[in-house]
Amino acid sequence: MSPKKSTGKSAPEKSEAPKKAAKTSAKAPKKMAKTPDLLRGFRDILPEEQVVWDAIRDQTRAMAKAYSFERIDVPVLEKAEVFERTVGAHTDIVEKEMYTFVDASGDRVSLRPEATASIARAYIGHGMLNRPQPVKLWYMGPMFRHDRPQAGRFRQFHQLGFETIGVDDPITDAQLIVIAHRLLRDLGIEASVQINSIGNNEARQAYITELSAYFKRHRAKLGEDDKRRLTKNPLRLLDSKDPAVKELLAEAPQIVDWLDDASRQHFTKVLEILDEVEVPYILNPFLVRGLDYYNRTVFEFWPQGDEGEKSQNALGGGGRYDHLIELMGGREATPAVGFALGVERIAKLIKEKTPEKEPIQVFFAQLGDAARRVGLRLFEEFRAANIPVAEAFGKSALKAQLDLANKMQVKCTLILGQKEVLDGTIILRDMESGSQEIVDMKKVVAIIRRKLTA
């Protein structure tokens, strides 16, 4: 008995029942599970984006090889202290952006917001001090910051980075700047190098005192955020987006005037080397980078033409971190320098310039089970010969397969039916002219190769 009939006795029920039925039939017939949304600030990197990502990966690997950097992969999850001790308690990253939680074993852990601190931990933990110095490492992988999602800012993003650990010669600073600049150029991006020196710790402390005194005199002009920065980490005022603060900066003390002699000489040498290798740079007296572990040279790469907007657009940056290894518990002072570039930002810039993925030139069409089985084997032969072949094993009608081959604009289609399987042959159809020939299955790979290179 249908529910309609069983409820059709009293007037109110009568009028309600059809309504209910109409409601359910208008909607999906079955209750559908709701697809979970992506977390805010997280994204998928889709197949069509991978050409660009592959180009970035390939160029980075080539650059690492040319300059003999070795790959390192560090975990995405570490003890929270790895970052808290080094990045700095009053930095944006540690203050509000780290994904930190207590795991099921009771450990306080963080998803890495950057990789340099972990690399320093690995350097110490694996006794890399005993390897020939410098130890030159590179990485590429996801980082996590609970940042405010906005254009170009994600909560999971990727960085590629290079680190040279164990030497303090200014040439290493310059070399890393050259590597990043060339890497970006190889990817078709002209970046402007912004550079500054933040000196040693004492010089920086003296400068911070001076900077604080200056801004305290102008405290009334500061917004709430900047007032907080003034008490907690005055250097961050240099990054302020507030026009009033930007105006104040024009008259503010500059760190170059507070540099210790050794840092000044170091900086001069870095600039001389950059001049020599003709990498253009812009001296930026207000560039300090956010993190506590930097000293001496700091630099950033901005897309050319975007220099006015420090905003959200830096492609990456880096600097010297001569005390990080000690801060992490290393036995000896170990000077180091490195940079990290944001892969999403690079990918966005090169998307338009990268050539389309190389189109597939060969399609394999089959008729019947035996042909499908032989086809799988044939595929392996084409793979070994490095010739990509498209197929539609899921379709059985030849017309549907040929339609697909046409759509893909392949050069030739191989057609294998029952008869050809028995004969050890295969039909080769030239898609442009429409002409067909029967060829020996054993020779088909060689024939196709000749056709494609002709």
Peptide bond into 280 cis (omega under 30): no
Q: Phi and psi of 95, rounded to 5°? A: -65, -45
CA nearest neighbour of 423 among 413, 438, 436: 438
Decide if residue 316 touches ligand AMP (CB under 6 A): yes
Our CB check for ligand AMP shows the closer of 147 and 225 to be: 147
Decide if residue 340 touches ligand AMP (CB under 6 A): yes
Q: Are 160 and 339 in contact (CB under 8 A)?
A: no
Q: Are 80 and 98 in contact (CB under 8 A)?
A: yes
Total interface residues for ligand AMP by CB under 6 A? 15
Structure tokens belonging to residue 65: 């090889």
Q: Which of 315, 328, 378, 431 forms a contact with ligand AMP (CB under 6 A)?
A: 315
Structure tokens belonging to residue 288: 């300090």
Our CB check for ligand AMP shows the closer of 147 and 169 to be: 147
- Binders of ligand AMP among residues 82 to 121 (CB under 6 A) are 114
Decide if residue 147 touches ligand AMP (CB under 6 A): yes
Q: Which of 139, 157, 281, 294 forms a contact with ligand AMP (CB under 6 A)?
A: 157
Q: Which long-range contacts (CB under 8 A, 24 or more apart) does 261-268 make?
A: 262/200, 263/197, 263/199, 263/200, 263/203, 263/295, 263/296, 264/197, 264/199, 266/168, 266/170, 266/173, 266/197, 266/296, 266/297, 267/170, 267/197, 267/296, 267/297
Decide if residue 344 touches ligand AMP (CB under 6 A): yes
Our CB check for ligand AMP shows the closer of 199 and 316 to be: 316
Structure tokens belonging to residue 300: 């950033």
Our CB check for ligand AMP shows the closer of 337 and 392 to be: 337
Our CB check for ligand AMP shows the closer of 312 and 418 to be: 312
> From the CB of 154, what's the least distance to ligand AMP, in Å?
4
> From the CB of 113, what's the least distance to ligand AMP, in Å?
8
> From the CB of 358, what's the least distance to ligand AMP, in Å?
28
> From the CB of 305, what's the least distance to ligand AMP, in Å?
16
Dihedral of alpha carbons 363, 366, 372, 375, sign: negative
Q: Which of 88, 303, 319, 342 forms a contact with ligand AMP (CB under 6 A)?
A: 342
> From the CB of 88, what's the least distance to ligand AMP, in Å?
12
> From the CB of 311, what's the least distance to ligand AMP, in Å?
11
Q: Which long-range contacts (CB under 8 A, 24 or more apart) does 202-205 make?
A: 202/260, 203/255, 203/258, 203/259, 203/260, 203/263, 204/255, 204/258, 204/295
Q: Which of 136, 145, 266, 429 forms a contact with ligand AMP (CB under 6 A)?
A: 145
Q: Which of 61, 146, 153, 395 forms a contact with ligand AMP (CB under 6 A)?
A: 153
Q: Phi and psi of 109, rounded to 5°? A: -125, 160
Our CB check for ligand AMP shows the closer of 322 and 344 to be: 344
Binding site for ligand AMP (CB under 6 A): 114, 145, 147, 153-154, 157, 159, 314-317, 340, 342, 344-345
